[in-house]
Structure 1
Amino acid sequence: MSLAYLEHYTIRDYAAWDGDWELIQGAPYAMSPSPSISHQRLEQSIAAQLFDGLKQCLQCEVLSEVDWQIAEDTVVRPDILIACDIQGEKLTQTPELIVEVVSATSAKRDEQIKFELYQKEGVKTYVLAYPEHQVAKVYVLKEGRFIKAGDFVLQTYEFEVKGCKLAVDFSQVWRKLP
């Protein structure tokens, strides 16, 4: 099929849609009806540890399920992010850290499409958390490329965000998961 026939949507189109969507380089992606209990537990556990770690950092904050408007044709909604020096009610600057809780329905988008997008946009740390396997894969941006820092099951990983150090104890993250 010729590329001339592919539809290309913008933020204006996105704003008019019903339901939950992400828009990546003009292509719409439907989000799951709602996250599973395991997804919610994992998201809340990681967010709580990140929030605790940032208590002394006044310029950065942890946000969940907020739209990040990257371009006129790209809006994503990471599960968790840390952004600093936020201005206004719309997030338009690149987050320092993003966590995506990966499910079977989101794996391709999280592992490939968003991986490349976040890398290109300069996200400093990207975490893929897998509730089913109880492992988190942490990637750190070095010289414009994500380099894997490791797979974390029972270990603690220390993050640095704008000079603030915070840690996630992954042994605690998986405690409430089946």
Structure 2
Amino acid sequence: MEKPQDKVKEPIAGYGHYSYTDYLSWQLDEMVELIRGRVFRQAAAPRRLHQEISMVLSNKLYEFLKGKTCKVYVAPFDVRLPVSSRAPDKINTVVQPDLCVVCDPEKLDELGCLGAPDLILEILSPGNNKKEIQIKYEVYEASGVKEYWLVHPDERILLIYTLESGKYRPSRLFTFGDRIRSQALPGFELELDEVFGEL
């Protein structure tokens, strides 16, 4: 006979208060993220421009980080952001950034990353802009992510938020012809013509 605790609690987007323990029990065909206990479903597969930008940026980061302690990871890759406890039933935020760089090996385990990555990069897609620009921004800032990059494929622009004294400071908008530098990854530079030039 099935016991109540054996039942898998199915997530309802935007409702409830779920934990990482719940998240691990779900058997879904779609990617979901858990932010402050609420479920956010991915509306559709990423568009072609999104994928092309992700590939270019992940390759650039991978080449730069070869032989270094820091590692780059591409979605789907679970990043658990604990607030008061690292216990699975107390963690209520699990995100899957488009790209993230983790420099502390102690944060990595077989399930992904436990704690704030040093750099997170999100590529905007139709339908998720509020989640990336507002909701994730607040979570990443509060969790201590050192740098948060937002890329807008259609506009061909990139914005960098750098954590200073617990608050994000925005850069100017970068686009064609600009060379960007990372404070979280000293020495990493990127020509945006190489990112946007062939799109």
Question: What TM-score results when the alignment is normalised by the length of structure 2?
Answer: 0.81
Point out where structure 1 has 5 or more consecutive residues left out of the alignment: 1-5
- Structure scoring higher RCO (CA < 8 A, sep ≥ 6) equals 1
Pick the aligned partner of 1:169 from 191, 195, 199: 191
For structure 2, which runs of at least 5 residues remain unmatched after alignment? 1-14, 83-90
* From 62, 70, 73, the counterpart of 1:60: 70
Matching residue of 1:160? 183
Structure 2 CA distance for aligned equivalents of residues 118 and 55 of structure 1: 26
How far is 1:63 from its partner?
0.7
Query: Is 1:88 aligned with 2:98?
Result: no
Cα RMSD after superposing both structures: 1.4
1-side partners of 2:172 and 2:63: how far apart?
Answer: 23
- 1:68: how far off? 0.2
Larger proportion of strand: 1
Return the alpha-carbon distance in structure 1 between the equivalents of residues 183 and 121 of structure 2: 14
For the 8 Å contact 1:49–1:167, the answer to whether it is kept is no
Alignment-mate amino acid for residue 21 of structure 1? V
Which of the pair has more CA radius of gyration? 2
Partner of 2:5: none
CA deviations on 1:93-141 (whole Å, 9 max, x unpaired) are 2111110001121100000000010001111111100001000011111
Query: If the length of structure 1 is used for normalisation, what is the TM-score?
Result: 0.90
Number of aligned positions between the proteins: 170
Identity value in percent = 29
Does 2:16 correspond to 1:7?
yes
AA aligned opposite 1:10: S
